[in-house]
Amino acid sequence: MRTSQQMSITLPNEMADVVKSKVRAGEYASESEVIRDGLRADPSRAVTPDQVRARLAAEHAKAG
């Protein structure tokens, strides 16, 4: 019996870019691993959408 199930998800471009950058940087072997790790994350470490946007904007400004 299979212990996993294939799914398709849609992310905003900024989130997709973060996922892909983690794989490119070698932090994860695949995009699926990034998503799985995020789902297992400690909820006490959660950030608000506004905090995520601010972090992404700061990273984008550094790269720009």
- Is position 3 within any domain? no
- Is position 7 within any domain? no
pTM: 0.61
- Give pLDDT tens digits for 35-50: 999 888 788 888 899 9
- Give pLDDT tens digits for 3-36: 989 999 999 999 999 999 999 999 999 999 999 9
- Is position 54 within any domain? yes
- Is position 2 within any domain? no
Contact 34, 23 (CB under 8 A): yes
- Is position 57 within any domain? yes
The domain tally of the chain equals: 1
Contact 28, 37 (CB under 8 A): yes
- Is position 26 within any domain? yes
- Rounded to 5 degrees, what angle do the CA atoms 34, 61, 26 make? 25
Which has the closest alpha carbon to 19: 37, 31, 7? Answer: 31
Q: How many residues does the chain have?
A: 64
The parent domain of residue 32 ranges over: 13-38+48-63
